[in-house]
Amino acid sequence: MDNIIKLINKAEVTHELTKNELVTLLKDNDHNEEIFKAADRVREKYVYDEVHLRGLIEFSNICKRNCMYCGLRRDNKNIKRYRLEPDEIISLAKGAKSYGYQTVVLQSGEDDYYTVDKIKYIVSEIKKLDMAITLSIGEKTFEEYEEYKKSGADRYLIRIETTDKELYEKLDPQMSHENRKKCLYDLRKLGYEVGSGCLVGLPNQTMESLADDILFFKKIDADMIGVGPFIPNKDTPLGEEEGGEFFLSIKVTALIRLLLPDINIPATTAMESLYPNGRSIALTSGANVVMPNVTEGEARKLYALYPGKICVNDTPGHCRTCISLKINKINRKVSEAKGFRNKTYKKETIN
């Protein structure tokens, strides 16, 4: 039997691969379909055919960080800045609830306007709607994370972006890779569902580095992993770089499913911004979550992480209908549950 096929079978059955084996699969482009199909079988076995929808509220594009790849970076003077008031955010969550969402994701740049008390107020009010709440608001202290958890936050998403420390600190000036990892460990200690993820196609990123990313997610037993292709933004220092390749992003997604069989994996908006029907392809290659935007008005356009972002001119209602049709078209169904991870894979995780 072909060595690559043997590796795919090993991953599907044991959910274990070494770094060298992952690199071999990442570098091989002759068996992508076999990898995608194996990941889809594992997805069906462990998380079934339901697709969980998370209503995404992008409430501020103001950020104190200066990441080289991000359109929200502090030094970008070509972006119109905005922030929503706490009651506006709560109102958007009520709208999401009316569209049938059971979960909201509250995402922003690292904007210090939102004090601990403001975030606690937002979270506690949304919790009254009987919704699961994911926060994606960057690096905070253990004590801040603890306060948000007590207020009702269920999940926290903070992408490692890359486990290559040198690359991370080159692309994220004045940020500490160790602190980024500490945040993930703090969130785990506090009982959050922990979400992370990586960018695929960053300048000077290697297949070895991507393999390390996948193994890191397995090591921390992440509950949700989002993979996005790097899409260059002309208003950033990396604006002239080549950017990530769609099918490599799909392959990384599929390999994460093979090694972490029961976690939640979103089909990211960036995938479809880069490739037609990208989210549907991801959903048939291991993904089981979609995060439609429920932000309204001008803010939908202004949260400009990268160019070509889809759905910025749509309404939340239109997005809800559209994604439901896409899901039905691939013979899957929209879940009516809050979509917490159901740990059905029993093998002990790596220490």
Binding residues: 63, 67, 70, 136, 161, 180
Amino acid at 248: L
**Phi/psi at 333 (5° precision):** -130, 155
Contacts 24+ apart (CB under 8 A), 171-178: 171/67, 171/68, 171/69, 171/202, 171/238, 172/65, 172/66, 172/67, 172/68, 173/66, 173/67, 173/68, 174/66, 175/65, 175/67, 175/139
Counting every residue, how long is the chain? 351
Residues annotated in a binding site for [4Fe-4S] cluster: 63, 67, 70
Residues annotated in a binding site for (3R)-3-methyl-D-ornithine: 136
Residues annotated in a binding site for S-adenosyl-L-methionine: 161, 180
3-class DSSP state for residue 199?
A: strand
Would residue 20 be called left, alpha or beta, if left means φ above 0 and alpha means ψ between -120 and 50 degrees? alpha
Both structure tokens of 224? 């949700």
3-class DSSP state for residue 107?
A: strand
